[in-house]
């Protein structure tokens, strides 16, 4: 998150003031209860849900909760061009692994029951979503016309570069009105993108801090877009790097230089993928999954954990499949793909892993990054005291 002194104005009659910021990204993530008819969600103030850069590793999310999100999550999403990073990232994630099925349509909710679906209201600014009576009525109409929608999100463009604290308070007020009118819908709050620097970037940082404090104080769901902009994972370290600049003596988080570009939605495809993965983390949490640490893993290995190599899914597959396995004890682990003649095609895992459930994907490519042909393949796991092999079929 963007660290620093929050400059928000308090509203003691409605929300607690002088709230200490909670910087552990998912320490307060609480299990979301399902309520209402048709799988509708009810966010009942059980604790804030903050989605930031530490909520992007899809391998940490159990398969069943991705399936749950696909079957339950229906979103109305209002945004301008920067918000396309989310839908673009979801599409890229699905391209990499079709298991993460995502469907969206322009101002229409797709009917795909086996995908996370989004009514994509592109071209929406604050006035068209919540800032005016017309915008509020427009949002009401979208929700009333699609009663299966159970989550709704508005994404900023560059408004927070210049907006005042009072204008952001109006955002809170309008969202609270919608939350009262549509208790079956979980409204997701967002921070503004971290693309700009200088005085505009500093003002945006202050307004984002205001939004963060409000969400943690009021038990809201926050999609921290600016935080996702500012952090990049360096696989060589490995570790996270934060983009920052200095303004008037303040160190201000800003878009990481790795994300400079205009491939999609004013950023790079890589940055979009980060937003897409974070969205899957969010909808998995909202569908019922809970994470007990910042990386989504259990602090203590689950009781009764045993060594298991699961059957890949889907099988047969094209172009990608998922392979899950559990390790009873931590140790060196290797997972290889062989062709029907016993020749090594690719190594998916080779390193030390903790005692836990794990999952990897294979995209049908060999060690040189070339697509392999249709046929029967075998995947084999070797760990301390554990060996197993299973068959899978690739159909091009």
pLDDT value for 291: 65
Residue-wise pLDDT tens digits, 236-257: 888 999 999 999 999 999 999 9
Evaluate whether residue 28 is within a structural domain: no
* Residue 201 CB contacts under 8 Å (≥ 6 apart), including other chains: 161, 194, 245, 247, 252, 254
280 has pLDDT over 90? yes
Q: For the residues 150-166, what does the mean pLDDT come to?
A: 98
* Residue 173 CB contacts under 8 Å (≥ 6 apart), including other chains: none
Evaluate whether residue 11 is within a structural domain: no
297 has pLDDT over 50? no
19 has pLDDT over 80? no
Q: For the residues 359-370, what does the mean pLDDT come to?
A: 92
Q: Please give the backbone phi and psi of residue 218, each rounded to the nearest 5 degrees, phi first.
A: -110, 10
Q: At 312, is the pLDDT very low, low, confident or very high (cuts 50, 70, 90)?
A: confident
Evaluate whether residue 34 is within a structural domain: no
Q: Please give the backbone phi and psi of residue 214, each rounded to the nearest 5 degrees, phi first.
A: -60, -45
Q: Please give the backbone phi and psi of residue 66, each rounded to the nearest 5 degrees, phi first.
A: -65, -45
- Please answer whether residues 286 and 73 qualify as being in contact, where contact means their C-beta atoms are separated by less than 8 angstroms: yes
Which segment of 35-49, 283-297, 338-352, 368-382 scores lowest on mean pLDDT?
A: 35-49
pLDDT value for 215: 95
Which segment of 17-21, 40-44, 160-164 scores lowest on mean pLDDT?
A: 17-21
Provide the CATH number for the domain around residue 351.
2.60.40.4070
**Residue corresponding to tokens 């200490």:** 20
Q: Are residues 319 and 279 in the same domain?
A: no
Q: Please give the backbone phi and psi of residue 277, each rounded to the nearest 5 degrees, phi first.
A: -65, -40
Q: Are residues 151 and 222 in the same domain?
A: yes
Provide the CATH number for the domain around residue 93.
3.40.50.1110
Domain count, the chain: 2
Instruction: Give the count of alpha carbons within 13 A of 186, CB side only.
Output: 33
Q: Are residues 228 and 363 in the same domain?
A: no
pLDDT value for 162: 98
Residue-wise pLDDT tens digits, 69-118: 999 999 999 999 999 999 999 999 999 889 999 999 999 999 998 999 99
Quote the CA–CA distance of 324 and 312 in Å, as a whole number. 7
Quote the CA–CA distance of 316 and 338 in Å, as a whole number. 16
198 has pLDDT over 90? yes
Q: Indicate the SS3 state at residue 48.
A: coil
Domain of 337?
308-394
pLDDT value for 16: 35
Sign of CA dihedral 394, 335, 235, 275: positive
For residue 381, with 0-12 CB atoms within 10 Å meaning exposed, 13-18 middle and 19 or more buried, which class applies? buried
Evaluate whether residue 41 is within a structural domain: no
Q: Are residues 383 and 249 in the same domain?
A: no
Q: What is the mean pLDDT of the chain?
A: 85
Q: At 307, is the pLDDT very low, low, confident or very high (cuts 50, 70, 90)?
A: confident
Residue-wise pLDDT tens digits, 204-248: 999 999 999 999 999 999 999 999 999 999 988 889 999 999 999
Q: Are residues 231 and 357 in the same domain?
A: no
Q: What is the CA radius of gyration of the chain?
A: 22
pLDDT value for 236: 85
pLDDT value for 77: 98
Consecutive H or E run containing 145: helix 133-145
Percent of the chain with pLDDT over 90: 69
Q: Are residues 282 and 313 in the same domain?
A: no
pLDDT value for 311: 82
Q: Are residues 224 and 346 in the same domain?
A: no
Q: For the residues 296-303, what does the mean pLDDT come to?
A: 40
30 has pLDDT over 60? no
CB burial string 57-76: b at 16+ within 10 A, e below: ebebbeeebbebbbebbbbb
Q: Are residues 237 and 139 in the same domain?
A: yes
**Residue corresponding to tokens 């390193």:** 351
């Amino acid at each position: 998150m963007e660290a620093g002194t929050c400059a928000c104005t308090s509203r003691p009659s409605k929300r607690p003031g002088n709230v200490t910021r909670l910087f552990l990204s998912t320490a307060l993530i609480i299990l979301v209860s399902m309520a209402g008819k048709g799988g509708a969600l009810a966010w009942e103030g059980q604790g804030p849900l903050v989605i930031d850069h530490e909520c992007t590793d899809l391998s940490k999310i159990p398969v069943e909760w991705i399936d749950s999100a696909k079957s339950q999550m229906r979103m109305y999403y209002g945004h301008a061009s920067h918000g396309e990073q989310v839908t673009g990232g979801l599409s890229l994630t699905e391209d990499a692994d079709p298991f993460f099925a995502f469907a969206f349509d322009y101002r229409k909710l797709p009917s795909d029951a086996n995908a996370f679906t989004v009514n994509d209201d592109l071209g929406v600014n604050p006035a068209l979503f919540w800032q005016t009576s017309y915008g509020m009525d427009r949002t009401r109409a979208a929700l009333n016309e699609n009663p299966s929608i159970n989550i709704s999100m508005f994404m900023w463009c560059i408004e927070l570069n210049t907006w005042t604290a009072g204008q952001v308070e109006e955002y809170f007020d309008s969202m609270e009105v919608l939350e009262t009118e549509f208790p079956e819908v979980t409204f997701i709050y967002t921070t503004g993108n971290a693309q700009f620097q200088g005085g505009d970037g500093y003002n945006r940082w202050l307004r984002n801090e205001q939004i963060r404090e409000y969400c943690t104080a009021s038990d809201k769901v926050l999609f921290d877009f600016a935080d996702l902009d500012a952090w990049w994972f360096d696989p060589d370290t490995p570790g996270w790097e934060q983009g920052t600049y200095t303004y008037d003596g303040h160190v201000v988080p800003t878009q990481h230089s790795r994300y400079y570009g205009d491939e999609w939605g004013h950023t790079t495809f890589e940055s979009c993928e980060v937003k897409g993965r974070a969205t899957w983390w969010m909808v998995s949490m909202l569908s019922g999954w809970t994470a007990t640490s910042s990386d989504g893993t259990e602090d203590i290995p689950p009781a009764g954990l045993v060594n298991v190599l699961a059957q890949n899914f889907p099988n047969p597959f094209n172009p990608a499949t998922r392979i899950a396995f559990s390790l009873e004890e931590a140790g060196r682990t290797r997972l290889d793909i062989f062709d029907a003649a016993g020749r090594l095609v690719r190594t998916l895992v080779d390193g030390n892993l903790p005692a836990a459930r794990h999952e990897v994907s294979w995209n049908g490519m060999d060690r040189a990054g070339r697509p392999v042909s249709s046929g029967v393949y075998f995947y084999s796991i070797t760990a301390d005291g554990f060996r197993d092999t299973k068959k899978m079929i690739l159909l091009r």
